[in-house]
Copies of this chain bind each other. A is one copy, B any other.
Amino acid sequence: MEDYLKAIYELSSVQPRVSTSQVAEWMKCTPASVTNMLQKLSGLKLVDYTPYQGVELTQAGTKIALSVLRHHRLIELYLEEVLGYSWDQVHEEADQLEHVISEEFEARIDRALGHPKKDPHGAPIPAKDGTLPEERLTNLWDAVQKVELTIARVEDKDSEALRYLAAMGLLPGVRLSIIKKAPFSGPVHVRVGAEEHTLSETLARKIHVTESV
């Protein structure tokens, strides 16, 4: 259930209303399973669901989703900072722990980390009160050819990809520029410091950037 709420929350960042099949794809299950769960969540008033019209979180649902997300991101950061995990290892462990830790635990790791604002992948950590500064980011694929871009955030689901990106030095906070993008979905060439790298569309879409200040 918490995973469904999280999924709906994350998908909502693009369009406010999320379709059954989007959730199904995200959760890697069949649309029928999703419909089923949406009905349950709707009964619990965690979700505003109209058949055939997609779904949206209610306030209660948003609250839970944000709290799970907060857990997840705090745990990720804690695992990296304190326990020395590499950034591609943290996601899976956090996915388990996020549902289990108490508020006490959350508060304590938050304090131990000095009330951090970002997780290891650059994702903002929701505050306890449900505040979450939503930055409007472009992904590297859709970014126009700018002189200077800064990596703000990297999607954390795919640890393979994370390892690969880390090896190239493509971490949050790093500056880069697009050298050129080949036409017809060709790869994108970027310069990072002195090095140049070629990124596929899939990979480039996982990287979210802002214009450098």
Contacts and interface: CB of A to CB of B under 8 A. Distances in A.
Interface of A: 79, 82-85, 89, 92-93, 96-97, 100-102, 104-105, 108-109, 112
Given A93-B105, A105-B93, A83 B100 contact: no
A152 to B, nearest CB: 28
* Majority secondary structure of chain A interface residues (helix, strand, loop or mixed): helix
Chain copies in the assembled complex: 2
Contacts of A79: 105
Contact of A96 (B84, B92, B100, B108): B100
A93 B93 CA distance: 17
Contact of A84 (B85, B89, B92, B108): B108
A100 B97 contact: yes
A83 B112 contact: yes
A89 B107 CA distance: 14
